């Protein structure tokens, strides 16, 4: 990586990390407005740098707005979401499939995973199914980077799979890792939380996808036509 390229790389990572931190500090519908930037970090920076930017933003945002109890621990889900979006946008769907299968497998192996309503994870199942369709959309987008008709479905798919990976990571931390016990959540209360999540998390995912398409399509086309940088960076 040349000195100029490295400086641009560091600058963009820092900028996206700062935006992420600012959005974490702003309360959203149920979490925060970082859902507006998380997928774009992976698309622009790629999986490795996207993870780094989201991690920096997640930590900094929680320093600004610490939240309650173990809330900061769930911040690791945000860089995972950016990482997965970046992997999908590079066409590395098999790696993403392994990540989804591992976390879902751990969830259903856990005794609570076999008791809690399985239908409540319907949005995660949809994202899992869409992983298989993603290579076709991504291939077209990478071949015609300035074509909005090709980029739009790729951004929509990648962002949805990425933001749902964020959701799945939180579920993984809560149940298989067992954070629900440390948070004082009883097993009796979990079904109600699951049913509420079945309605809440898909709304956040839709907002994230819409924001990614509205912001991301013109942004990526501008970066491509202006030859500012070749996305994803890593």
pLDDT score, position 15: 96
Question: What mean pLDDT do residues 142-156 have?
Answer: 93
For the stretch 128-137, pLDDT in tens is 999 999 999 9
Top pLDDT among 4 and 131 is at 131
pLDDT score, position 70: 81
**Alpha-carbon span 153 to 7, nearest angstrom:** 31
pLDDT above 50 for 147: yes
pLDDT score, position 4: 44
For the stretch 85-99, pLDDT in tens is 999 999 999 999 999
pLDDT score, position 233: 86
pLDDT score, position 2: 46
Q: Which two tokens stand for residue 195?
A: 């049913």
For the stretch 110-129, pLDDT in tens is 999 999 999 999 999 999 99
Cα Rg, the chain, nearest whole Å: 17
For the stretch 172-221, pLDDT in tens is 999 999 999 999 999 999 999 999 999 999 999 999 999 999 999 999 99
For the stretch 23-42, pLDDT in tens is 999 988 778 899 999 999 99
The band of 3, judged by pLDDT with boundaries at 50, 70 and 90, is: very low
Q: Which two tokens stand for residue 118?
A: 């399985």
- In order, the DSSP letters of the chain are --HHHHHHHHHHHHHHHHHHHHHHTSB-SSSBGGGGTHHHHHHHHHHHHHHHHHHHHHHHHHHHS--STTGGGGGGHHHHHHHHHHHHHTT-HHHHHHHHHHHHHHHHHSGGGGTS-GGGGHHHHHHHHHHTTHHHHHHHHHHSTT-HHHHHHHHHHHHHHHHHHHHHHHHHHHTTS-HHHHTT--TTTHHHHHHHHHHHHHHHHHHHHHHHHHHHHHHHHHHHHTTS--SS--
Does this model's pTM top 0.75? My answer is: yes
For the stretch 221-233, pLDDT in tens is 999 898 888 888 8
pLDDT above 70 for 1: no
pLDDT above 80 for 69: no
pLDDT score, position 84: 98
């Amino acid at each position: 990586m040349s000195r100029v390229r490295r400086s641009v790389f560091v600058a963009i990572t820092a900028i996206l990390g700062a935006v992420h931190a600012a959005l974490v500090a702003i309360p959203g519908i149920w979490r925060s407005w970082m859902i507006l930037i998380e997928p774009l970090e992976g698309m622009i920076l790629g999986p490795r740098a996207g993870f780094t930017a989201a991690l920096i933003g997640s930590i900094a945002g929680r320093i600004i707005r610490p939240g309650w109890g173990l809330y900061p621990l769930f911040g690791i889900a945000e860089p995972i979401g950016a990482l997965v979006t970046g992997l999908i946008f590079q066409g590395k769907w098999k790696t993403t499939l392994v990540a989804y299968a591992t976390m879902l497998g751990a969830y259903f192996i856990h005794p609570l995973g076999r008791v809690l309503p399985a239908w409540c994870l319907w949005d995660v199942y949809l994202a899992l199914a869409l992983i298989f369709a993603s290579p076709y959309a991504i291939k077209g987008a990478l071949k015609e980077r300035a074509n909005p008709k090709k980029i739009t479905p790729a951004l929509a798919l990648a962002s949805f799979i990425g933001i749902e990976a964020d959701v799945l990571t939180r579920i993984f931390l809560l149940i298989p890792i067992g954070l629900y016990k440390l948070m004082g959540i009883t097993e009796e209360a979990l079904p109600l939380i699951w049913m509420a999540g079945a309605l809440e998390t898909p709304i956040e995912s839709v907002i994230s996808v819409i924001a990614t398409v509205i912001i991301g399509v013109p942004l990526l086309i501008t970066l491509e036509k202006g030859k500012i940088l070749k996305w994803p960076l890593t």
